[in-house]
Structure 1
Amino acid sequence: MKKLGIIAGKGTLPVTIAEEAKKQGYKVVIIALDPVADSINGSADRIYRINVGKFGKLIDTLKKEGIKEVIMAGKVSKTLLYKNRTIIPDVRALKLLMKLPDRKDDTILSAITEELEKEGIYLLETAHLTKNLLIKEGVLTKRKPSKDEKRDIEFGFRIAKEIGRLDIGQTVVVKDRAVMAVEAIEGTDEAIKRGGQLAGKGAVVVKVGKPQQDMRFDVPVVGLETLKAMYSVGATVLAAEAGTTILVDKEESVSFANKHRISILGIKF
């Protein structure tokens, strides 16, 4: 039987991938990263909860299970490196962190990928088994963006691509062709709330892949939680790059958006 490892952070995406993998005949082993991973009981053949700082233990567990291919899915915030005192890196994690030239997302995740490959463990694209989750070009909701919102989308797309190129974040909040917020270490939802509070009602949220996007890690993801954050501050449009951004909880997300007059669309420029 084919085996697949899933390194799981926060959110529903790890469970969705695990369920699809089992349908396709994989034996699924999930490494749920404490303290961020949500409950995933019953969605895999075997589940291990491992502290996010214990990189050596993670590798040893994958090797013990005979895992050669893994998928990373779910959010792991870098704020854990600075705020959470329960994250105590093991020797292998410390060695990895000490040799990094910086702590940008791509720098950290590329180094993790290289360490896994040294052990014969290869990282697959996040959507390797679930390409149907990648948002397609076009409007998904009943409400379409207005002419002004379309101008904000195009403006925001260019800005988001630039912050992606710099590996700062993937999301911008804009209104009237002005930037209200740029996503950084706090994550998408907090950036939306911050930008929406500054903009008032009618802000546009744009999320894109980086120009140098590696589809194996840090893939842009939106879903119901994104929309709830938008609704809390009166944001009216979620524009996500088609073919690069994963939309989780699609039915619930579209239903929520329709109920609250929010437009969701996949974009390409």
Structure 2
Amino acid sequence: MSRRRLALVAGSGALVPRALAAAREAGWEVRVLTLHPRADLAHEDPFQIKVSRPDQVLREIRKFNATHVCAVGGMHMSDRERETLADFTGDDDKAKAKGDAKLSQLGSVLLKMLGIPFIGVHEIVTDLLAPEGQFGALELDSELAAIARFAFNSARRAGELDLGQALVVSGARIIATEDIAGTDTLLARCRDFRARGLVGDGAARMVLAKVSKPGQPLHVDLPAVGPDTVTGAVEAGIAAIAVEAGRTLLIEREKLVARADAAGIALVGFKAEDA
């Protein structure tokens, strides 16, 4: 039986070292490639990716004789880097959007050039994907459940425009959507709105929703929530977090749920077709 060899493209976040350990425990031989320098991976002698030279990345993966590629963690690229990647893959239409959905497609094109498959991190680390229904201790009452569904469906619509994966509502009002700065910054803005008395002083409760974008593949850039998300949600006055069941990564799940339970924040997973 041929040995499985994994090229692990590491972004930011706590999931990366966990995925690395799980892959080795499962018998994978792993070569780490980092999009941004990480002190905690220095002992791996990682290949530092230069988005300006995607040919070097492909050469390194071929040199390792990788059988599979997995991208783990947050992947942040500037407009210039996105344009460079698009040019390399032959997508030279400057009028086309170069958002995160397009970035996922370009990554798939690169893998086709190599002739090896992507796998999702959930195929390496088990019990990562959010379940359907309540997965914390706090139950949603009928009103909060309705707000959560509204937030979830609104986030799906925002995804069609290739905006961020997250959105916050206050009752039946959308108050903020995620942008290129990410979910933590979204929650910080909502915290500021609350401090200024713009939200949180009436009966309408606030819900954070996080979903994948329509057509987004399972193997790259799935939405993720973790303990830090809950911390930001507490500061922003969030009453519930709604995620997409089967398509959202739960980072440090036990700590995430415990922190939400302690803060009185409800956690719920919806299927896109049911919400």
TM range (shorter): 0.7 to 0.9
Q: Does 1:16 align with 2:18?
A: yes
- Return the offset for 1:235: 1.4
1:109-132, CA deviations, whole angstroms, 9 ceiling, x for partnerless residues? 212221222122321233222342
- CA gap of 1:47–1:131, structure 2 versus 1, over 3 A, is same
CA distance, structure 2, for counterparts of residue 184 and residue 38 of structure 1: 27
1:133 partner SS = coil
Q: Which has the higher contact order (CA 8 A, sep 6+)?
A: 2
- CA gap of 1:195–1:97, structure 2 versus 1, over 3 A, is farther
1:39 partner SS = helix
Q: Does 1:118 align with 2:113?
A: yes
1:65-85, CA deviations, whole angstroms, 9 ceiling, x for partnerless residues? 11131011111224x337xxx
Q: Share of identical aligned residues, percent? A: 25
Q: Displaced runs of 4+ in structure 1, greater than 4 A?
A: 91-94
1:210 partner SS = coil
Q: Which moved more, 1:151-160 or 1:53-62?
A: 53-62
Tell me what 1:39 maps to.
40
Tell me what 1:81 maps to.
79
- CA gap of 1:266–1:183, structure 2 versus 1, over 3 A, is same
The answer to whether the 8 Å contact 1:196/1:235 transfers is no
Q: Among 88, 95, 98, which residue is 1:95 paired with?
A: 88
Pairing 1:120-269 to 2, within 5 Å after superposition:
120-198=115-193, 199-200=199-200, 202-268=205-271, 269=274
Q: What TM-score results when the alignment is normalised by the length of structure 1?
A: 0.86
CA distance, structure 2, for counterparts of residue 52 and residue 196 of structure 1: 34
CA distance, structure 2, for counterparts of residue 88 and residue 246 of structure 1: 24
CA distance, structure 2, for counterparts of residue 38 and residue 164 of structure 1: 33
1:239 partner SS = strand
CA distance, structure 2, for counterparts of residue 223 and residue 38 of structure 1: 21
RMSD (Å) for aligned C-alpha atoms: 2.5
CA distance, structure 2, for counterparts of residue 131 and residue 185 of structure 1: 29
- Return the offset for 1:38: 6.6
Amino acid at match of 2:243: A
The answer to whether the 8 Å contact 1:180/1:196 transfers is no
Amino acid at match of 2:19: I
The answer to whether the 8 Å contact 1:196/1:203 transfers is no
The answer to whether the 8 Å contact 1:126/1:219 transfers is no
- CA gap of 1:51–1:236, structure 2 versus 1, over 3 A, is farther
- Return the offset for 1:47: 2.8
2:259 partner SS = helix
Amino acid at match of 2:257: V
The answer to whether the 8 Å contact 2:89/2:109 transfers is no
CA distance, structure 2, for counterparts of residue 97 and residue 251 of structure 1: 43
2:34 partner SS = strand
- CA gap of 1:195–1:96, structure 2 versus 1, over 3 A, is farther
- CA gap of 1:231–1:204, structure 2 versus 1, over 3 A, is same
The answer to whether the 8 Å contact 2:209/2:243 transfers is yes
CA distance, structure 2, for counterparts of residue 196 and residue 158 of structure 1: 23
CA distance, structure 1, for counterparts of residue 107 and residue 13 of structure 2: 21
CA distance, structure 2, for counterparts of residue 51 and residue 256 of structure 1: 37
Q: How many residues align?
A: 260
Tell me what 2:68 maps to.
69
CA distance, structure 1, for counterparts of residue 32 and residue 240 of structure 2: 34
The answer to whether the 8 Å contact 1:11/1:38 transfers is no
The answer to whether the 8 Å contact 2:7/2:30 transfers is yes
1:122 partner SS = coil
Tell me what 1:48 maps to.
47
Q: Which moved more, 1:194-203 or 1:101-110?
A: 194-203
